[in-house]
Structure 1
Amino acid sequence: MPKVTISLDAELVVEVMVLAGVGSPQDAVELVVRDYIARGHRTEARVAARDEPEGKQDVRPPDPQA
């Protein structure tokens, strides 16, 4: 997969590292981005389930990615 290099405020990255419980800035930011994407998919699944007629709700959340 291609990589992207970005610059972030150091205080922001340190706070993310503490909240995520990881020692690597790269890993911390990657975890936040993956969580954001997974949350979006869960929201989409809930909205799709709500829009389906009764009895046809067979929406499973996506498998967590490591």
Structure 2
Amino acid sequence: MARVTISLDSDLAIEVMLLTGTRSPQDAVELVVRDYLAAGRRTEARTGDAADAHRVGEERRTPQEG
């Protein structure tokens, strides 16, 4: 997998390290990004995607009374 280098404010990096409980800023940021992506996948799994639009887009017809 290719790697990239990103510059962050030191306060931001320290805060992320404290939240994740890691000693390396690189590991901390990687954990946060992986968690963010996993949360997006969980949301898609619950709500569906564009291919599932046909299920929620149509209103169900109710029989007319009378």
TM-score w.r.t. length of structure 2: 0.72
Pair 1:18 & 2:18 matched: yes
RMSD: 1.8
Gaps of 5+ in 1: 54-66
Going by fraction, where is helix more abundant, 1 or 2? Answer: 2
- Structure 1 Cα separation of the partners of residues 18 and 33 of structure 2: 15
Gaps of 5+ in 2: 56-66
> Could you list the per-position Cα deviations for residues 11-50 of structure 1 after superposition, in whole angstroms to 9, with x for gaps in the alignment?
00000000100000000000000000000000000002xx
Larger radius of gyration: 2
- Percent identity of paired positions between Structure 1 and Structure 2: 67
- Ranked by relative contact order (alpha carbons within 8 Å, sequence separation 6 or more), the top structure is 1
